[in-house]
């Protein structure tokens, strides 16, 4: 007669028992690569289309020229871990900071305009402005801005930032201020490139090795020809030592303010002048070597 003991089957002998795989992530993301099929919402292709701009969870569209929150969501999940510090050198209306709060990241934003920096700070609680989001009013191309960022990083317990966001003016398409340091006030497109490179150099120096940077930019049309702002700024960043990882084309329809009756006029002008109406911008991804 067989005697039944208390012997327990080992996991390998239990076909009904599923063993959870350990979490497998990269050094720059919390995405679990063992469960990569669960991340359908994270884009890995080079054509990004969004039906409309998000206007919830602290976001709004009161400031012309800000980038859509969905970009921050994609970039943060793909290239940051929780509690990482995002450095935005063209902070504007604070999209980077708002989404940092929503996704449990931290953010340092540099804004040139005093009134805008002050009004944007009202979007955050006093506690958040101490622990999670710091807004610096300065010229992003300056040594002063660099030193202020270093000081804030030290307070946050970091030597460098873990993600760099660059969303500069698209040359002089929109005038954002009357300050000479403003990239939208450059006297020439070449001067715009030179000043942008100074900002990008500060960003490069303040970014942790091996981490990523995102350039969000479109092109312009001047003197009857296209000014390839995106590709020239891309080249300037590569000169600094950034490694190009991707060029994403993003549909801007729905993100731009409606032209209304002017839409037909622009179509006429395009037909008459032999040019095309921009309906895209670029999201260029770089990695610090």
Q: Look up the CATH number of the domain holding residue 94.
A: 3.40.50.150
Residue 20 within a domain: no
With CA atoms as reference, report the closest residue to 85 among 113, 107, 115: 107
The average confidence (pLDDT) of the chain is 89
With CA atoms as reference, report the closest residue to 170 among 258, 261, 262, 278: 278
Between 224 and 214, whose confidence is greater?
214
pLDDT at 163: 98
Domain count for the chain, please give it.
1
Place of tokens 């329809």: 253
Q: What is the residue range of 109's domain?
A: 45-52+62-288
Q: Could you report the per-residue pLDDT of 122-157, keeping only the tens digit for each?
A: 999 999 999 999 999 999 999 999 999 999 999 999
**152: part of which helix (H) or strand (E)?**
helix 143-155
Q: Are the beta carbons of 229 and 170 closer than 8 angstroms?
A: yes
Of all residues in the chain, what percent carry a pLDDT higher than 90? 70
Helix intervals (H) in 173-228: 189-206
Between 276 and 65, whose confidence is greater?
276
pLDDT at 81 over 50: yes
> What pLDDT band is residue 176 in, cutting at 50, 70 and 90?
confident
Cβ neighbours of residue 127 closer than 8 Å, sequence gap 6 or more: none
> What pLDDT band is residue 7 in, cutting at 50, 70 and 90?
low
Between 277 and 213, whose confidence is greater?
213
Residue 7 within a domain: no
Residue 23 within a domain: no
Write the burial class of residue 108 (CB in 10 Å: 0-12 exposed, 13-18 middle, 19+ buried).
buried
Write the burial class of residue 182 (CB in 10 Å: 0-12 exposed, 13-18 middle, 19+ buried).
middle
Residue 6 within a domain: no
d(CA 55, CA 46): 25
- Local structure of 59: helix, strand or coil: coil
d(CA 160, CA 4): 62
* Cα 269 → chain centroid: 33
pLDDT at 258: 45
Residue 83 within a domain: yes
With CA atoms as reference, report the closest residue to 219 among 209, 211, 227, 207: 227
Residue 237 within a domain: yes
Please state the rounded mean pLDDT for residues 148-170.
Answer: 97
pLDDT at 15 over 80: no
Of all residues in the chain, what percent carry a pLDDT higher than 70? 85
> What pLDDT band is residue 1 in, cutting at 50, 70 and 90?
very low
Q: Are the beta carbons of 99 and 69 closer than 8 angstroms?
A: yes
Token pair recorded at residue 275:
């040019």
Residue 90 within a domain: yes
Residue 24 within a domain: no
DSSP-derived letter for residue 64 is: T
DSSP-derived letter for residue 255 is: T
Q: Are the beta carbons of 120 and 62 closer than 8 angstroms?
A: no
With CA atoms as reference, report the closest residue to 163 among 49, 237, 76: 76
């Amino acid at each position: 007669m067989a005697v039944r003991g208390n012997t327990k089957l080992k996991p390998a002998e239990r076909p009904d028992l599923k063993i959870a795989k350990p979490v497998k992530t990269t050094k720059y993301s919390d995405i679990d690569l063992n469960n990569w099929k669960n991340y359908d919402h994270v884009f890995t292709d080079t054509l990004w289309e969004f039906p409309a701009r998000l206007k919830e969870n602290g976001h709004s569209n009161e400031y012309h020229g800000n980038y859509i929150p969905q970009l921050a969501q994609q970039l943060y999940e793909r290239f940051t871990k929780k509690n990482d510090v995002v450095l935005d050198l063209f902070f504007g209306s604070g999209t980077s900071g708002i989404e940092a709060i929503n996704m449990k990241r931290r953010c340092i934003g540099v804004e040139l305009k005093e009134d805008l920096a002050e009004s944007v700070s009202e979007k955050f609680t006093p506690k958040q402005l101490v622990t999670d989001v710091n807004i610096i009013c300065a010229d992003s191309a300056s040594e002063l801005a660099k030193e202020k960022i270093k000081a804030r990083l030290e307070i946050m317990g970091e030597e460098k930032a873990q993600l760099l966001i660059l969303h500069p003016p698209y040359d002089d398409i929109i005038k954002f201020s009357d300050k000479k340091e403003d990239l939208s006030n450059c006297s020439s497109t070449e001067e715009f490139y030179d000043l942008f490179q100074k900002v990008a150099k500060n960003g490069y120096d303040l970014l942790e090795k091996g981490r990523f940077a995102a350039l969000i930019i479109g092109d312009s049309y001047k003197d009857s020809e296209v000014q390839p702002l995106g590709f020239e700024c891309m080249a300037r960043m590569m000169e600094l030592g950034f490694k190009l990882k991707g060029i994403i084309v993003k549909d801007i329809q729905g993100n731009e303010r409606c032209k209304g009756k002017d839409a037909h006029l622009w179509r006429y002008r395009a037909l008459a002048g032999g040019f095309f109406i921009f309906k895209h911008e670029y999201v260029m991804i770089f990695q610090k070597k």
